[in-house]
Amino acid sequence: MTSGILLACGSLVSLTGALGGAALPRPWRVPVSATLIATACVVESVAAIDVLATGQTANWHSSQVLPLTGASLALTPLGAIFVVLVALVAVPAAIYWIGYAPHGMSARPTAGSFAVFITGLLIVPAAASVATFMFLWEMMALTSLALVLTDQGRREAARSAGVWYGVITHVGAAFILAAFLILAAHSGGQSFTALESHARALAPGVRATIFLLALVGFGSKAGVVPFHVWLPKAHPEAPSPVSALMSGAMVALGVYGIVLFGDVLLGGGPVWWWLIVLTLGAVSALFGSLHAANSTDLKKLLAYSTTDNIGLVLLALGASGLFSATGHARLGALSLVAALVLLVNHAMFKGALFLAAGSVQVATGTRDLDELGGLLRRMPQTGALFLVAAASICAMPPLNGFVGEWLLFQSLLHGVNLGNTAGDIAIPVAVAALALTAGLTIVAFVKATGVGFLGRPRSPGAEVALEVPLSMRMSTGLLVTMCVVAGVAPMVILPAVERAVRAALPGVGSAPLVHGVRLQLVSVRGVLAPTVLAVSLVVAVAVVVFARRALARRRVVRVTEVWGCGRELVTARMQYTATSFAEPVQRVFDDVLRPVRDIDVSHVAESRYVIESMSYRSHVNDQIENALYLPVIRAIRRWGQFARRLQPGSVHRYLAYGLVALVVTLVVVAVLG
C-alpha cells in the first residue's frame, strides 16, 4: 500500500516539475524542474524497489483523474524493473539538462514537455488499465514529439524528423489500441487483470491477431526493423538529454509492451509467434549494427546502434518464448533474464553515450565524426567516459555489456537441440547473428571513439573544444559508473531482474540462475565469475605496468612527431576518417547497403591529363526506407494530389457534393427499404 502512495506521490512531484518548468522565470526554471524530476524518479524507484523486494504489486486507483474510466495504476515486479530502468536514465538526464539547457533547451514549452515526458515514461509501466495505458502512452509520445521538434525553427532536418516520428509513432499507437480493443471486447473489462483472465480462453486466431498487432505497434516504438526509420532521424535531432531518454528508456518501453502482451496478458503463445520475434530481432540487430558501422554522424550511429541492441533484446525475447512454448520453462526464463539484463544495460551505456555525444556537440558544434578528432585531449573526462561506455556496448569484459551477451549466449547455447526443428535452425542462426552484430558493433564504436576522440582534430571546432560544465560530466559519469558496477557486480541488478521474470512467467518455479560472486545457471552448466574476472584483469594490468617499469632501462618518454615516412608535412587531413574507416565493411556488405558513390574529376583547361580537383562522395542510404516507405509516401502524395482536385474552393461544388450524398443515401434507403 505504501508503495502505491509513493507511486502517486512520485507522479505528482514530477508533474509539479512540469508546472515549475513552465511557470518559473528563466534562471530558476531548469534547476528547480530538474531537481523535482530527479526527486520524482527517486520516489518512484523507491516504490519500484519495494515492489521488487517484496514481490507484492502496488495498486493505486482514482476515479478523479481520468474522466469516464478513472486512472488505475498497478506496479507489478515486471513493471517495476522498467520504472527503475527509466529512473536510471532520467535522473542523469535531468542533471545533465542543467548544464545543457543554455544550448536550446530552456524555453518554457521545452522544459514543460521534458518533465511531462519523464512523468509519462515513469508511469507507463505501472498502468493497469487500457485507458490509463493509452493515455500515458500518448502523453509520452506527444511530449517526445514536441521535444524532437525543439530545434525545428533552425533546422529543416528536425522538422522532417518530427514528421517521420509523429506519423510512425501514431500509426504504432493505433495498432496498440486495436490490439487492446480486440482484447477488451472479448473480456468485458478494461483492467489488465480482466484482460489477462479472459485472454487465455480466446480462439488462437484472435490471440494471434492481437499479438501481431501489439508486435507491430510496440515494435515501431522499439525501433525494430522495418519500423526503425524514425530512430536515425529523430534521435539525432532531439536535444541530447531527450535522445538519451528516448533511446535508453522509451524504446525499452516498446519491449515492455511486447513482454506485456506476449507473456503476461496472452500468457505465451505458439512457436511461430516467437520465431517472428526472433527473426525480427536478428534482422534488426544485423541491420542496425551494419548501419551503425557505416554512419558518420555520431548521434545517428548511436541511433542505429539502438536498433541493433533492441534487436538483440528481441532475439533473447524470441528465444525465451520459443523455449517456453516447447516446454523448457527454465531456459525460457533464463532467456528472458538475458533480455531484461540486455535492456537495463542498454539504458545505462546508451544513455551515457548519448549524453557524451551531446557534450561533444555542445563543445564542438558538430556531430559529424569526419570533423571531430583529438577530443580526448581537449575534453579528457567526457572522452574517457565515452570510451568506457563504448567498451561496455562492445561487450568488453568486465563491463555490463559483457554480462548481458554472456547470458544471451548461454541461453542460446543450451537451447540447441531441444527437438524442435524450427528452433534447431533458429538458434544457430541466432548465435551467428549475435556474433556478427557483436563484431560490427566493435567496428562502429572503435570508429566512433578512435575517429572522434583520438588522433588529431579535423576541424577548427574540434581544435578549440573545451570541457563541458560539471553537471553534464557528472551525469554521464553516473551512468558510466553504473555500467562498471553492473558489469563487475551483476548481482546488484540480477535479483531484481529475476524477480520480474518470475512474476512475468509464473510457471517457472525456481530461479533460473544463482547469483553470488559467481553467476551460476541452474539446471544447465554455465558459470561466470565477473568480479573475479575484473579483479584478475586489474591485477594483471598492474603486474604488466610494473614489469614494464621495472625492466625498462630508460624511464624518460620522448615525445616525437608522428612517423609519416619522413614527410615534411604531416597534417590532420592525412588521417583515416570515419568514412574511410568504414569502407572495407561497406565494400564487403555492398549488396546489402548499396552505397551511392560519386567521383567528380575536373581537369585543368589546358590538358585533360592534369587534374585540377577531385571530389569523392559516398553515402549509404537506408534501403528499407527506400524500398518500403518511399513508395507509400509517393502513393499518399498522389492521392493527395487527387484529393486536391476535389477541393477547388467553389461553393457550388461543395453544395453539389452534399446533394449527391443526399441522393445516394436516399437511393440506398429506397433500394434496401
Q: Does 488 bind other proteins (CB under 8 A)?
A: no
User: Of residues 545, 604, 633, 656, which one binds other proteins by CB under 8 A?
Assistant: 545
User: Of residues 15, 19, 276, 570, which one binds other proteins by CB under 8 A?
Assistant: 570
Of the two residues 568 and 600, which places its CB atom closer to other proteins in the complex?
568
Q: Does 564 bind other proteins (CB under 8 A)?
A: yes
Q: Does 544 bind other proteins (CB under 8 A)?
A: yes
571, 562 in Cβ contact below 8 A?
no
Of the two residues 105 and 412, which places its CB atom closer to other proteins in the complex?
412
User: Of residues 156, 568, 598, 600, which one binds other proteins by CB under 8 A?
Assistant: 568
Q: CB of 554: closest distance to other proteins in angstroms?
A: 5
Phi-psi region of 285 (alpha: psi -120 to 50; beta: other; left: phi over 0): alpha
Residue 60 host element (H or E): strand 58-62
411, 419 in Cβ contact below 8 A?
no
Position 636, amino acid: I
125, 83 in Cβ contact below 8 A?
yes
351: cell is: 544513455
Give the footprint of other proteins on residues 39-78 (CB under 8 A): none
User: Of residues 203, 205, 554, 615, which one binds other proteins by CB under 8 A?
Assistant: 554
Of the two residues 36 and 376, which places its CB atom closer to other proteins in the complex?
376
Closest CA to 183 of 197, 171, 199: 199
Q: CB of 325: closest distance to other proteins in angstroms?
A: 17
Position 427, amino acid: I
List Cα–Cα distances, 154 to 103, 150, 369, 442, in angstroms. 13, 9, 22, 34
User: Of residues 540, 611, 630, 660, which one binds other proteins by CB under 8 A?
Assistant: 540
Give the footprint of other proteins on residues 364-423 (CB under 8 A): 373-374, 376-377, 383, 387, 391, 394-397, 402, 405-406, 409-410, 412-414, 416-417, 421-422
Of the two residues 200 and 518, which places its CB atom closer to other proteins in the complex?
518
Q: Does 464 bind other proteins (CB under 8 A)?
A: no
Q: Does 551 bind other proteins (CB under 8 A)?
A: yes
Q: Does 241 bind other proteins (CB under 8 A)?
A: no
What distance in Å separates the CA atoms of residue 8 and residue 214, rounded to the nearest whole number?
27
What's the DSSP call for residue 73?
A: E
What distance in Å separates the CA atoms of residue 476 and residue 170, rounded to the nearest whole number?
31
Q: Does 435 bind other proteins (CB under 8 A)?
A: yes
Phi and psi torsions of 153, nearest 5°: -65, -30
Q: CB of 470: closest distance to other proteins in angstroms?
A: 22
Can you spell out the DSSP letters for 297-366?
A: BHHHHHHHHHHHHHHHHHHHHHHHHHHHHTT-HHHHHHHHHHHHHHHHHHHHHHHHHHHHHHHHHHHHS-
Q: x/- contact string, 493-532, with other proteins (CB under 8 A)?
A: -------------------------x-----xxxxxx--x
Q: CB of 320: closest distance to other proteins in angstroms?
A: 18
What distance in Å separates the CA atoms of residue 150 and residue 238, rounded to the nearest whole number?
7
What's the DSSP call for residue 493?
A: T
Q: x/- contact string, 265-304, with other proteins (CB under 8 A)?
A: ----------------------------x-----------
